[in-house]
Amino acid sequence: MAGGQWGVVPAPPTIVHLDADAFFVSCELARRPELRGRACAVGGRERGIIASASYEARAAGVYTPMPTARALRVCPGLVLIPPTPGLYGEVSARMFDLCGELTPWVERSSIDEGYLDLRGNGLANEAAVAAEVRRLQERLWSELGLPVSFGVAANKLVAQVASKLRKPRGFVVVPPGDEAGFLAPLPVGRLPGIGPKTEARLAERHGLRRIGELQALPEGSLEAAFGAGWQEVRAAAHGRDDRPVVTEPGDARSYSQQETFAADVRDRDQLVRVLKGMVDELLPKVRRDGKRARTLTVRVRFPDFSEGMRSRTLPEAADLEAPFYPLLEPLLAAAGAGTRPVRLVGVRISGVEAGGGQLELFRGDEARRRRLARVRDELNAARGAGALRHGHQLANPADDA
Ligand SMILES: [Mg+2]
């Protein structure tokens, strides 16, 4: 039938693995772009080791961890950069902050690697998912000067293999259902958990070099090669993995929420009310985590999938709703809402820092506001979220018109 099979919409891949390329070196090069293209490494000079090497340095035989003295011998032109205290953690936080603008489901697995779950993001198909992730990759490069490789797949295992396949600045999408076919031609060492020693043993003793050969192996032979863990190896070889993306609630770097409307919304007042409701849901979480935050980002998506996004930062970090309310309308306007219909709105509260207020430190009105917020949080926790609502959350009958 011409035009393909209508009625069958394949599910888009929603799990993303990101892995910054030569992370420590890249953080340094972002501050010193004149060094780009040269063989560079971050490492200690005196009896030090190389912690991170640029791809140019790797091509010259420098790897990590390698004693600095040896690295300078194999690559005499090597630009050795001493580690900058604090820099890498800061760049990492900014990297994951930008990820948090795409989805609240961000799992940091190391300083420069993590997973995102885009489920519930309203992205209809593979092309839309790929476009969003590409946009994030571009932002990381243009705003932070950070080269990051991405893998997009149906699960964590395949996304991770995909992200490491075409570094640097790789971008590999594996359509759901293609997991086994994608993995088959790759060397067995590409599977997480199969290190160089196991890879060499598999080749020598069992003649196994490609993941496809593992897939085709009968159970008995798999057990002979891998022992007790053979079933996990078989699942991995076929690209099966059901581990969820896990965010640590107490360790949030940002708080965000978004909503896709059933029908596009043009009325800015209505959008402001929806955003206020989101602020009301997010700030109790900020307080519960004992944090305060200073930056509010409003994001809108239009029916053609173009987007507007604007941020404002408060002069002082806050853990109450009120300071954020007045920012909503101007940010919505700046993001382009009100001039054309909006399909999705979202808010994100970032610039998170430690130290929610101890009640005892506040006096007068401020103490009263805080007591009220605390009582409201406790009541809502006891009765189920949203039991005690702010005035603007009460439905306006005109909204239904
Ligand atoms: Mg990396």
Number of C-beta neighbours around residue 328 at 10 A:
23
233 plus 382 within the same structural domain: no
Same domain, 293 and 337: yes
Tell me, what CATH number does 143's domain have? 3.30.70.270
Cα separations in angstroms, 31 against 16, 88, 230, 374, 381:
27, 12, 47, 43, 46
Max distance between CA atoms of the chain, in angstroms, equals: 77
Question: Which residues line ion ligand 1, judged by CB < 5 Å?
Answer: 19-20, 23, 112
* 22/134 same-domain check: yes
Residue 349's H or E segment, with its range, is strand 342-350
Q: Taking Cα atoms as reference points, which of 362, 388, 364 lies closest to residue 284?
A: 388
Asked if residue 253 and residue 203 are part of one domain, the reply reads: no
Give all strands of the β-sheet with 50-53 in edge-to-edge order.
50-53, 40-43, 79-81
- Kindly list the distances between the CA atom of residue 23 and the CA atoms of 48, 146, 340, in Å, as whole numbers in the listed order: 18, 8, 41
- CA angle at 117 for the pair 233 and 148, rounded to the nearest 5°: 85
Q: How far is the CA of 150 from the centre of ligand 1 (A)?
A: 11
User: Which of 142, 160, 177 is the C-terminal boundary of a domain?
Assistant: 177
Specify the pLDDT at position 388: 55
Mean pLDDT value across the chain = 86
Least-confidence region, from 32-36, 222-226, 357-361: 357-361
The reply to whether 316 and 387 lie within a common domain is yes
Q: How far apart are CA 91 and CA 95, in angstroms?
A: 6
**Which of 322, 316, 337, 401 shows the shortest CA–CA distance to 369?**
322
Host domain of residue 221: 180-237
Domain identity same for 154 and 203:
no
Tell me how far apart the alpha carbons of residues 122 and 260 are, in angstroms, rounded to a whole number: 7
Q: Are residues 307 and 342 in the same domain?
A: yes
Alpha-carbon gap, residue 144 to 95, rounded angstroms: 8
In-domain check, residue 298: yes
- 391 and 339 in a single domain? The answer is yes
pLDDT bracket for residue 212 (50, 70, 90): very high
Quote the pLDDT of residue 251.
55
Percent of the chain surpassing pLDDT 70: 86
Sign of CA dihedral 118, 124, 125, 126: negative
Does residue 31 sit within a domain? yes
Residue 369 Cα, ligand 1 centroid: separation in angstroms? 45
The predicted model gives 45-62 an average pLDDT of 93
Can you give the pLDDT at residue 2? Answer: 39
pLDDT value at 186 more than 60: yes
pLDDT at position 196 over 50:
yes
48-62, 267-281, 362-376: least confidently modelled range: 362-376
**95 lies in some domain:** yes
1 located within any domain: no
Q: Looking at residue 313, which CATH number applies to its domain?
A: 3.30.1490.100
Taking the centre of ligand 1 as the mean of its atom positions, its distance from the CA of residue 163, in whole angstroms, is 10
Distance from the alpha carbon of residue 146 to the mean position of ligand 1, in angstroms = 11
CA of 347 to the centre of ligand 1 (A): 29
Last residue of a domain, one of 191, 209, 237: 237
**pLDDT for residue 285:** 87
For the chain, how many structural domains are there in total? 3
Distance CA 161, CA 186 (A): 10
Within this chain, do residues 25 and 132 fall inside the same structural domain, yes or no? yes
- Tell me: do 208 and 279 sit in the same domain: no
CA of 113 to the centre of ligand 1 (A): 6
Query: Could you read off the pLDDT of 220-270 as tens digits, one per residue?
Result: 999 998 888 899 999 999 999 988 888 765 456 788 888 888 889 999 999
For residue 243, tell me if it sits in a domain. no
> Last residue of some domain: 215, 237, 259?
237
In a domain, 352, yes or no: yes
pLDDT score, position 303? 84
User: Does one domain contain both 155 and 191?
Assistant: no
Stretch 170-196: mean pLDDT, rounded?
Answer: 95
> pLDDT band at residue 392, thresholds of 50, 70 and 90?
low
| Positions marked catalytic | 113
Q: Pull the structure tokens for residue 253.
A: 């770097």
Instruction: Give the pLDDT band of residue 382 (cuts 50, 70, 90).
Output: low
Show Cβ contacts of residue 355 under 8 Å, excluding neighbours closer than 6 positions.
290, 291, 292
Give domain status of residue 3, yes or no: no
Per-residue confidence (pLDDT) for residue 391, from 0 to 100: 57
Claim to verify: residue 170 and residue 30 sit in the same structural domain: yes
CATH no. for residue 213?
1.10.150.20
* pLDDT for 304: 80
In a domain, 244, yes or no: no
